[in-house]
């Protein structure tokens, strides 16, 4: 059969989409009881994907069937309530349903003329986020794939502006012969920031590292004398402890001399949008750029990062290598590509809009504070059964130190992970291996926490019996 005829039939009779929907519901209905990490068999069965690329067009229904049979069991259960690995995030039902609908739209969000609806919703999200997070009115937003990309964009805007302050047109003149720019960063900064510093050509050896305190917060008293050649990288939410840097004072110092401050708030910046946790982000509005994920704390589907920047001109000039927007060669409406490195982009802001519209301010507060409460519960229940918690649980991160000996911690962790009851990862904190728990999903209930604590206890018993 002619392939386009086949596709026309698939498009119109919709059976394929019914099949996908049934698999999706089957998956979601079983999520609470399935192993949080796939079984060894599910992983070894993936070998069945190893085949030469087919010579001929296949059968769509068979493709979906194979994906569900082999693929679904080899997923990690992020959307259940007991996945605490890395810092990830569940998915709000309304955002998932929105994604289904917009998948059928398949919009390209580069220019308003390519998709008026996604341009409009980017504009709305930009304004809502500025207001929710209490950022300056001039703040603009770029909707990118995640915080790694958002940090890169913020630092590119900073580079452009700081060089301009020093009388250097970076887009034209580049690094050769440029006056020195100083990068100031806390020693607990995230790897994504370090990567962006390297990618943008500043050189890791040129970072002026600032010591952190016992929670991984930058030590204000150790900040070097700042000047107008400085870019200061701070964080809202240490990826291990969840701690927030003291923004207020450092931003005041930076603003007094014309330095730029970027805040990596991948999961923690949402605290600024909550009544009950916003004290953690005091002074955050005094920075120049911020990066945050929709796909972590806010629980939108993946592939949703946001760069917020108060200096629109610096951002656009850095990302477009031209000031073309000033001459209005684009439309009067919002052209999303001006604020991102990419041109073609999917309509990720629609899911973000759906999340914000659904939750409202009180819903954001309930979601974010709920993650915090579950983290506190986790820490308290673990503590009550003799596990030591080594961080102040200010947000959603809990660091557990089951043993002074790294190999014992590792053994315990592997036993917990293999139980399928819950999943947490490890990290190194102050030179010691620890178990890192991140409570990131709306779906995590009090019962999920207690059940996970029991998995910790069972694992400890299993090890000591051996
Ligand atoms: C997750 C994370 C990043 C990277 O974000 P991606 O969305 O994965 O690119 C950066 N900084 C912090 C603090 C993070 O937690």
**Alpha carbons 32 and 43: distance in angstroms, whole number:** 20
| 39 and 70 together in one domain | yes
**91 occurs within a structural domain:** no
- Does ligand 1 come within 6 angstroms of the Cβ of 268? no
241 secondary structure, DSSP code: T
CA of 266 to the centre of ligand 1 (A): 5
Distances (CA, A) of 378 to 87, 216, 364, 450: 16, 21, 21, 7
CA of 138 to the centre of ligand 1 (A): 25
Site of tokens 């009067």:
332
**Alpha carbons 198 and 152: distance in angstroms, whole number:** 10
Instruction: Give the number of domains in the chain.
Output: 3
CA of 50 to the centre of ligand 1 (A): 32
- Closest residue by CA, ligand 1 atom 14: 266
- List pLDDT tens digits, range 390-426: 999 999 999 999 999 999 999 999 999 999 999 999 9
| 156 and 292 together in one domain | yes
Distances (CA, A) of 396 to 106, 263, 377: 34, 18, 10
- Does ligand 1 come within 6 angstroms of the Cβ of 184? no
- The boundaries of the domain holding residue 155 are 98-356
Nearest atom of ligand 1 to the alpha carbon of 267: 15
- List pLDDT tens digits, range 295-310: 999 999 999 999 999 9
Collect all residues with Cβ–Cβ distance below 8 Å to 92 and sequence separation of at least 6. Answer: 298, 299, 300, 354, 355, 358, 359, 442
CA of 192 to the centre of ligand 1 (A): 6
How many of the other CB atoms lie within 10 Å of CB of 63?
Answer: 11
| 317 and 441 together in one domain | no
Site of tokens 């917990």:
416
| 328 and 377 together in one domain | no
- Does ligand 1 come within 6 angstroms of the Cβ of 130? no
CA of 397 to the centre of ligand 1 (A): 14
Quickly list DSSP for 35-103: -SS--HHHHHGGGGG--PPPSS---HHHHHHHIIIIIGGGS--TTSS-B-SSS-----HHHHHHHHHHH
- Does ligand 1 come within 6 angstroms of the Cβ of 144? no
**119 occurs within a structural domain:** yes
- Residue 233 tokens read as 């990288």
| 46 and 185 together in one domain | no
**Alpha carbons 342 and 419: distance in angstroms, whole number:** 42
- Does ligand 1 come within 6 angstroms of the Cβ of 237? yes
CA of 152 to the centre of ligand 1 (A): 12
| 342 and 419 together in one domain | no
Nearest atom of ligand 1 to the alpha carbon of 305: 7
Query: By CB neighbour count within 10 A (0-12 exposed, 13-18 middle, 19+ buried), where does 358 fall?
Result: middle
- Does ligand 1 come within 6 angstroms of the Cβ of 147? yes
> Mean pLDDT per segment of 10 residues, for the chain of length 466 residues?
92 97 97 93 98 96 98 95 96 98 97 96 98 98 98 98 97 96 97 98 97 96 97 98 98 98 98 97 98 98 98 96 56 90 96 98 98 98 98 98 96 97 97 97 98 98 87
- Does ligand 1 come within 6 angstroms of the Cβ of 109? no
**225 occurs within a structural domain:** yes
Which of 44, 77, 110 is the endpoint of a domain?
Answer: 77
Handedness of CA 295, 298, 301, 304 (dihedral sign): negative
Which of 356, 377, 394 is the endpoint of a domain?
Answer: 356
Collect all residues with Cβ–Cβ distance below 8 Å to 459 and sequence separation of at least 6. Answer: 412, 415, 416, 419
- Does ligand 1 come within 6 angstroms of the Cβ of 84? no
- Residue 383 tokens read as 């503590």
pLDDT on residue 114: 95
pLDDT on residue 329: 47
Read off the pTM.
0.97
Integer distance in angstroms from the first to the last C-alpha of the chain?
Answer: 62
Which is it for strands 140-144 and 305-309: parallel, antiparallel or unpaired? antiparallel
- Does ligand 1 come within 6 angstroms of the Cβ of 188? no
**Alpha carbons 179 and 163: distance in angstroms, whole number:** 8
| 102 and 243 together in one domain | yes
| 160 and 298 together in one domain | yes
**90 occurs within a structural domain:** no
Which is it for strands 140-144 and 397-401: parallel, antiparallel or unpaired? unpaired
Which of 77, 110, 143 is the endpoint of a domain?
Answer: 77
**84 occurs within a structural domain:** no
**Alpha carbons 303 and 301: distance in angstroms, whole number:** 7
pLDDT on residue 321: 82
Q: In this structure, what CATH number is given to the domain that contains residue 301?
A: 3.40.640.10
| 443 and 459 together in one domain | yes
**Alpha carbons 259 and 231: distance in angstroms, whole number:** 6
pLDDT on residue 327: 42
**458 occurs within a structural domain:** yes
- Residue 43 tokens read as 């992983």
pLDDT on residue 331: 62
How many of the other CB atoms lie within 10 Å of CB of 366?
Answer: 16
Angle, CA of 396, 399 and 404, to the nearest 5°? 175
Nearest atom of ligand 1 to the alpha carbon of 293: 7
| Residues found in the chain | 466
| Torsions phi, psi for 323 (to 5 deg) | -100, 25
Handedness of CA 57, 60, 63, 65 (dihedral sign): negative
- Does ligand 1 come within 6 angstroms of the Cβ of 266? yes
| 333 and 193 together in one domain | yes
Q: In this structure, what CATH number is given to the domain that contains residue 393?
A: 3.90.1150.10
| 230 and 246 together in one domain | yes
- Does ligand 1 come within 6 angstroms of the Cβ of 239? yes
- Does ligand 1 come within 6 angstroms of the Cβ of 264? yes
Collect all residues with Cβ–Cβ distance below 8 Å to 318 and sequence separation of at least 6. Answer: 153, 156, 157, 159, 160, 170, 171
**396 occurs within a structural domain:** yes
**87 occurs within a structural domain:** no
- Does ligand 1 come within 6 angstroms of the Cβ of 186? no
| 277 and 249 together in one domain | yes
Secondary structure of residue 229 in the 3-state scheme: coil
pLDDT on residue 332: 79
Pocket test for ligand 1, best of 188, 190, 242, 263 (most atoms within 8 A of CB): 190
């Amino acid at each position: 059969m002619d392939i386009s005829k086949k596709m026309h039939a698939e498009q119109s009779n919709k059976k394929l989409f019914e099949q996908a929907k049934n698999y999706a519901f089957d998956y979601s209905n079983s999520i609470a009881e399935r192993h949080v990490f796939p079984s060894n068999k599910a992983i070894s069965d993936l070998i069945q994907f190893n085949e030469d690329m087919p010579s001929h067009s296949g059968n769509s229904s068979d493709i979906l069937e194979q994906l569900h049979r082999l693929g679904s069991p080899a997923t990690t259960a992020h959307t259940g309530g007991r996945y605490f690995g890395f810092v990830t995030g569940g998915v709000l039902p309304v955002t998932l349903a929105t994604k289904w609908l917009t998948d059928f739209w398949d919009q390209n969000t580069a220019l308003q003329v390519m998709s008026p609806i996604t341009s409009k919703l980017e504009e709305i999200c930009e304004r809502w986020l500025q207001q929710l997070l209490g950022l300056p009115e001039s703040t603009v937003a770029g909707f990118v794939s995640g915080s790694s990309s958002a940090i890169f964009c913020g630092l590119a805007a900073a580079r452009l502006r700081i060089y301009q302050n020093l009388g250097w047109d970076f887009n034209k003149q580049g690094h050769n012969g440029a006056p020195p720019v100083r990068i100031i960063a806390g020693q607990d900064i995230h790897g994504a920031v370090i990567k962006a510093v390297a990618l943008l050509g500043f050189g890791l050896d040129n970072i002026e590292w600032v010591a952190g305190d016992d929670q991984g917060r930058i030590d204000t008293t150790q900040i070097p004398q700042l000047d107008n050649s400085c870019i200061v990288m701070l964080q809202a939410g240490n990826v291990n402890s969840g701690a927030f840097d003291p923004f207020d004072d450092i931003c005041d110092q930076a603003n007094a001399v014309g330095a730029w401050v970027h805040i990596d708030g991948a999961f923690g910046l949402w605290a600024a949008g909550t009544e009950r946790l916003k004290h953690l982000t005091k002074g955050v509005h005094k920075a120049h750029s911020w990066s945050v994920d929709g796909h972590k704390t806010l629980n939108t589907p993946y592939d949703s990062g946001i760069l917020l920047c108060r200096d629109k001109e610096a951002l656009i000039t850095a990302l477009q290598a031209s000031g073309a927007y000033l001459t209005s060669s684009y439309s009067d409406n919002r052209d999303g590509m001006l604020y991102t490195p990419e041109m073609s982009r999917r309509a990720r802001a629609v899911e973000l809009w759906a999340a914000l519209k659904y939750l409202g301010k009180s819903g954001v507060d309930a979601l974010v504070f709920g993650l915090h409460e579950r983290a506190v519960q986790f820490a308290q229940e673990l503590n009550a059964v003799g596990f030591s918690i080594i961080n102040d649980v200010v947000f959603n991160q809990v660091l557990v130190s089951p043993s002074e000996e790294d190999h014992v911690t590792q053994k315990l962790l592997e036993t917990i992970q293999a139980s399928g009851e819950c999943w947490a990862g490890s990290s190194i904190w102050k030179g010691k291996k620890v178990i890192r728990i991140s409570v990131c999903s709306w779906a995590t209930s009090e019962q999920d926490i207690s059940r996970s604590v029991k998995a910790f206890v069972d694992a400890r018993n299993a090890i000591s019996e051996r």
